[in-house]
Structure 1
Amino acid sequence: MTEQHDLVGRIAALQEEVDQLRRAVASHAVVDQAIGVVIAVSGLRPEQGWEVLREVSQRTNTKLRVVAAQVVRWADCGALPEPTRTTLSTVLAAHHPPLGRALVRRPYRPWGVAERERSPRA
Protein backbone atom coordinates (compact mmCIF):
# COMPACT_ATOMS: atom_id res chain seq x y z
CA MET A 1 0.00 0.00 0.00
CA THR A 2 2.82 2.41 0.83
CA GLU A 3 4.51 1.72 -2.51
CA GLN A 4 1.29 2.55 -4.38
CA HIS A 5 0.87 5.73 -2.31
CA ASP A 6 4.46 6.75 -3.16
CA LEU A 7 3.78 6.19 -6.87
CA VAL A 8 0.62 8.31 -6.76
CA GLY A 9 2.55 11.09 -5.03
CA ARG A 10 5.37 10.87 -7.57
CA ILE A 11 2.89 11.02 -10.48
CA ALA A 12 1.22 14.09 -8.99
CA ALA A 13 4.61 15.79 -8.56
CA LEU A 14 5.58 15.00 -12.15
CA GLN A 15 2.26 16.33 -13.46
CA GLU A 16 2.82 19.57 -11.57
CA GLU A 17 6.33 19.85 -13.02
CA VAL A 18 5.01 19.32 -16.56
CA ASP A 19 2.37 22.02 -15.97
CA GLN A 20 5.04 24.43 -14.76
CA LEU A 21 7.21 23.72 -17.79
CA ARG A 22 4.27 24.32 -20.13
CA ARG A 23 3.56 27.67 -18.49
CA ALA A 24 7.24 28.59 -18.72
CA VAL A 25 7.41 27.79 -22.43
CA ALA A 26 4.30 29.88 -23.14
CA SER A 27 5.63 32.75 -21.05
CA HIS A 28 9.01 32.58 -22.78
CA ALA A 29 7.36 32.94 -26.20
CA VAL A 30 5.52 36.11 -25.12
CA VAL A 31 8.70 37.56 -23.64
CA ASP A 32 10.57 36.86 -26.89
CA GLN A 33 7.81 38.59 -28.87
CA ALA A 34 7.94 41.61 -26.55
CA ILE A 35 11.72 41.82 -26.94
CA GLY A 36 11.11 41.88 -30.69
CA VAL A 37 8.66 44.76 -30.31
CA VAL A 38 11.08 46.74 -28.16
CA ILE A 39 13.99 46.30 -30.55
CA ALA A 40 11.78 47.05 -33.57
CA VAL A 41 10.56 50.38 -32.20
CA SER A 42 13.82 51.44 -30.61
CA GLY A 43 16.64 50.02 -32.68
CA LEU A 44 18.21 48.48 -29.60
CA ARG A 45 20.04 45.15 -29.62
CA PRO A 46 18.17 42.05 -28.37
CA GLU A 47 20.05 41.95 -25.07
CA GLN A 48 19.11 45.59 -24.52
CA GLY A 49 15.47 44.78 -25.31
CA TRP A 50 15.57 42.12 -22.61
CA GLU A 51 17.09 44.61 -20.17
CA VAL A 52 14.37 47.18 -20.95
CA LEU A 53 11.61 44.67 -20.22
CA ARG A 54 13.33 43.54 -17.03
CA GLU A 55 13.71 47.12 -15.80
CA VAL A 56 10.08 47.98 -16.58
CA SER A 57 8.99 44.86 -14.71
CA GLN A 58 11.08 45.76 -11.67
CA ARG A 59 10.17 49.45 -11.61
CA THR A 60 6.44 48.78 -11.92
CA ASN A 61 6.53 45.74 -9.63
CA THR A 62 4.78 43.75 -12.35
CA LYS A 63 5.65 40.22 -13.38
CA LEU A 64 7.83 40.14 -16.49
CA ARG A 65 5.38 37.97 -18.40
CA VAL A 66 2.60 40.52 -17.70
CA VAL A 67 4.75 43.42 -18.93
CA ALA A 68 5.67 41.36 -22.00
CA ALA A 69 2.01 40.62 -22.75
CA GLN A 70 1.19 44.34 -22.42
CA VAL A 71 3.98 45.27 -24.84
CA VAL A 72 2.84 42.67 -27.37
CA ARG A 73 -0.76 43.99 -27.12
CA TRP A 74 0.59 47.54 -27.51
CA ALA A 75 2.15 46.58 -30.83
CA ASP A 76 -1.18 45.16 -31.96
CA CYS A 77 -3.70 47.74 -30.75
CA GLY A 78 -1.69 50.76 -29.60
CA ALA A 79 -2.83 50.69 -25.97
CA LEU A 80 -0.28 50.46 -23.18
CA PRO A 81 -1.59 50.76 -19.61
CA GLU A 82 -0.18 53.06 -16.99
CA PRO A 83 2.33 52.86 -15.30
CA THR A 84 3.88 50.55 -17.89
CA ARG A 85 3.67 53.27 -20.58
CA THR A 86 5.49 55.96 -18.62
CA THR A 87 8.02 53.51 -17.21
CA LEU A 88 8.76 52.04 -20.64
CA SER A 89 9.21 55.56 -21.98
CA THR A 90 11.65 56.41 -19.19
CA VAL A 91 13.64 53.19 -19.54
CA LEU A 92 13.83 53.51 -23.34
CA ALA A 93 15.02 57.10 -22.98
CA ALA A 94 17.79 55.89 -20.67
CA HIS A 95 18.84 53.19 -23.14
CA HIS A 96 18.34 55.21 -26.32
CA PRO A 97 18.11 58.94 -25.45
CA PRO A 98 17.34 60.28 -28.96
CA LEU A 99 14.31 58.01 -29.40
CA GLY A 100 13.09 56.89 -26.00
CA ARG A 101 10.38 59.33 -24.99
CA ALA A 102 8.92 59.88 -28.45
CA LEU A 103 8.43 56.17 -29.05
CA VAL A 104 5.91 55.58 -26.32
CA ARG A 105 4.08 58.92 -26.25
CA ARG A 106 2.50 58.68 -29.68
CA PRO A 107 -0.17 56.01 -29.75
CA TYR A 108 0.39 53.44 -32.42
CA ARG A 109 -2.34 53.43 -35.03
CA PRO A 110 -2.44 50.66 -37.58
CA TRP A 111 -2.32 51.84 -41.16
CA GLY A 112 -5.66 53.17 -42.30
CA VAL A 113 -7.26 53.47 -38.85
CA ALA A 114 -7.17 57.27 -38.80
CA GLU A 115 -8.79 57.42 -42.23
CA ARG A 116 -11.54 55.01 -41.21
CA GLU A 117 -12.25 57.02 -38.07
CA ARG A 118 -12.69 60.25 -40.06
CA SER A 119 -14.87 58.84 -42.79
CA PRO A 120 -18.60 58.57 -42.09
CA ARG A 121 -20.07 55.12 -41.86
CA ALA A 122 -22.43 54.06 -44.58
Structure 2
Amino acid sequence: MTQHEELVEKIEELQEEIAQLRQALVSHAVVDQAIGVVLAVSGLRPDQGWEVLKAVSQRTNTKLRDVAQHVVRWPDLGSLPAEIRPALRIALTEAHTAHGGRSLIRQEQRCKGHSRAPSGKTE
Protein backbone atom coordinates (compact mmCIF):
# COMPACT_ATOMS: atom_id res chain seq x y z
CA MET A 1 0.00 0.00 0.00
CA THR A 2 1.35 3.39 -0.94
CA GLN A 3 1.62 6.28 1.46
CA HIS A 4 -1.18 8.07 -0.42
CA GLU A 5 -3.50 5.07 -0.07
CA GLU A 6 -2.70 4.83 3.66
CA LEU A 7 -3.58 8.50 4.10
CA VAL A 8 -6.84 8.11 2.20
CA GLU A 9 -7.74 5.08 4.36
CA LYS A 10 -6.90 7.00 7.55
CA ILE A 11 -9.04 9.97 6.44
CA GLU A 12 -11.99 7.64 5.78
CA GLU A 13 -11.59 6.04 9.22
CA LEU A 14 -11.49 9.46 10.89
CA GLN A 15 -14.56 10.65 8.98
CA GLU A 16 -16.47 7.57 10.13
CA GLU A 17 -15.37 8.16 13.72
CA ILE A 18 -16.50 11.81 13.53
CA ALA A 19 -19.92 10.72 12.24
CA GLN A 20 -20.25 8.24 15.11
CA LEU A 21 -19.25 10.87 17.68
CA ARG A 22 -21.79 13.32 16.27
CA GLN A 23 -24.52 10.68 16.52
CA ALA A 24 -23.46 9.91 20.09
CA LEU A 25 -23.74 13.59 21.05
CA VAL A 26 -27.26 13.83 19.64
CA SER A 27 -28.30 10.58 21.33
CA HIS A 28 -26.82 11.72 24.64
CA ALA A 29 -28.79 14.96 24.53
CA VAL A 30 -32.06 13.13 23.84
CA VAL A 31 -31.39 10.65 26.64
CA ASP A 32 -30.72 13.52 29.06
CA GLN A 33 -33.99 15.18 28.03
CA ALA A 34 -35.86 11.90 28.49
CA ILE A 35 -34.38 11.50 31.97
CA GLY A 36 -35.78 14.97 32.72
CA VAL A 37 -39.25 13.90 31.60
CA VAL A 38 -39.06 10.76 33.74
CA LEU A 39 -37.99 12.85 36.74
CA ALA A 40 -40.82 15.32 36.17
CA VAL A 41 -43.52 12.63 36.21
CA SER A 42 -42.05 10.48 38.96
CA GLY A 43 -40.01 12.53 41.41
CA LEU A 44 -37.11 10.11 41.07
CA ARG A 45 -33.43 11.09 41.15
CA PRO A 46 -31.42 11.42 37.89
CA ASP A 47 -29.60 8.12 38.39
CA GLN A 48 -32.96 6.42 38.88
CA GLY A 49 -34.29 8.07 35.72
CA TRP A 50 -31.39 6.58 33.78
CA GLU A 51 -32.17 3.14 35.24
CA VAL A 52 -35.84 3.49 34.28
CA LEU A 53 -34.97 4.28 30.65
CA LYS A 54 -32.49 1.42 30.56
CA ALA A 55 -35.08 -0.99 31.96
CA VAL A 56 -37.66 0.09 29.36
CA SER A 57 -35.10 -0.37 26.61
CA GLN A 58 -34.24 -3.86 27.79
CA ARG A 59 -37.83 -4.90 28.49
CA THR A 60 -39.02 -3.79 25.03
CA ASN A 61 -35.85 -4.73 23.13
CA THR A 62 -35.73 -1.16 21.82
CA LYS A 63 -32.58 0.93 21.49
CA LEU A 64 -32.18 3.31 24.41
CA ARG A 65 -32.03 6.36 22.15
CA ASP A 66 -35.33 5.31 20.53
CA VAL A 67 -36.99 4.89 23.93
CA ALA A 68 -35.63 8.34 24.86
CA GLN A 69 -37.07 9.90 21.69
CA HIS A 70 -40.51 8.47 22.49
CA VAL A 71 -40.35 9.75 26.07
CA VAL A 72 -39.24 13.22 24.95
CA ARG A 73 -42.12 13.44 22.44
CA TRP A 74 -44.62 12.06 24.96
CA PRO A 75 -45.70 15.43 26.46
CA ASP A 76 -46.45 16.88 23.00
CA LEU A 77 -48.14 13.78 21.62
CA GLY A 78 -50.01 12.94 24.81
CA SER A 79 -49.28 9.24 24.50
CA LEU A 80 -46.53 6.65 24.24
CA PRO A 81 -46.26 3.75 21.80
CA ALA A 82 -48.16 0.67 23.01
CA GLU A 83 -45.00 -1.32 23.72
CA ILE A 84 -43.31 1.52 25.64
CA ARG A 85 -46.21 2.56 27.90
CA PRO A 86 -46.54 -0.61 30.03
CA ALA A 87 -42.78 -1.09 30.20
CA LEU A 88 -42.36 2.47 31.49
CA ARG A 89 -45.11 1.98 34.06
CA ILE A 90 -43.44 -1.22 35.32
CA ALA A 91 -39.98 0.39 35.41
CA LEU A 92 -41.31 3.40 37.32
CA THR A 93 -43.08 1.15 39.81
CA GLU A 94 -39.94 -0.92 40.30
CA ALA A 95 -37.82 2.21 40.79
CA HIS A 96 -40.34 3.54 43.28
CA THR A 97 -40.40 0.26 45.21
CA ALA A 98 -36.63 -0.19 45.17
CA HIS A 99 -35.92 3.33 46.41
CA GLY A 100 -38.89 3.63 48.70
CA GLY A 101 -41.44 6.15 49.51
CA ARG A 102 -42.16 8.49 46.64
CA SER A 103 -45.60 8.34 45.12
CA LEU A 104 -45.67 8.33 41.36
CA ILE A 105 -47.93 10.42 39.18
CA ARG A 106 -49.91 8.38 36.71
CA GLN A 107 -48.52 9.06 33.27
CA GLU A 108 -51.94 9.79 31.79
CA GLN A 109 -52.55 12.56 34.33
CA ARG A 110 -49.26 14.32 33.55
CA CYS A 111 -49.86 14.08 29.81
CA LYS A 112 -53.36 15.54 30.09
CA GLY A 113 -51.97 18.57 31.86
CA HIS A 114 -53.01 17.73 35.41
CA SER A 115 -50.75 19.62 37.73
CA ARG A 116 -49.79 17.53 40.73
CA ALA A 117 -46.47 17.52 42.48
CA PRO A 118 -44.76 14.12 42.89
CA SER A 119 -45.68 14.16 46.59
CA GLY A 120 -49.38 14.22 45.64
CA LYS A 121 -49.83 17.86 46.68
CA THR A 122 -51.29 20.35 44.24
CA GLU A 123 -48.75 22.76 42.78
Shorter-chain-normalised TM-score: which range? 0.7 to 0.9
Length-normalised TM-score, structure 1: 0.82
1:54-65 to 2 correspondence within 5 Å? 54-65=54-65
- What is the CA–CA distance in structure 1 between the aligned matches of 2:58 and 2:90, rounded to whole Å? 13
- What is the CA–CA distance in structure 2 between the aligned matches of 1:110 and 1:40, rounded to whole Å? 12
Give the paired residue count.
Answer: 110
Residue deviations 1:6-41, cap 9 Å, x none? 000000000000000000000000000000000011
- Deviation (angstroms), 1:84: 0.5
CA RMSD of aligned residues (A): 1.9
Residue of structure 2 in register with 1:120 after alignment: none
Length-normalised TM-score, structure 2: 0.82
Q: State which structure, 1 or 2, has the greater radius of gyration over its C-alpha atoms.
A: 1
- Deviation (angstroms), 1:106: 4.3
Residue deviations 1:62-121, cap 9 Å, x none? 000000000001022212001100000011111125644x5234471358xxxxxxxxxx
Identity in percent: 56
Residue of structure 2 in register with 1:116 after alignment: none
* Structure with higher RCO (Cα < 8 A, 6+ apart): 2
Moved over 4 A (4+): none
Residue of structure 2 in register with 1:104 after alignment: 107
Residue of structure 1 in register with 2:118 after alignment: none
Gaps of 5+ in 1: 112-122
Contact preservation (8 Å) 1:92, 1:99: no
Residue of structure 2 in register with 1:10 after alignment: 10
- SS in structure 2 of the partner of residue 80 of structure 1: coil
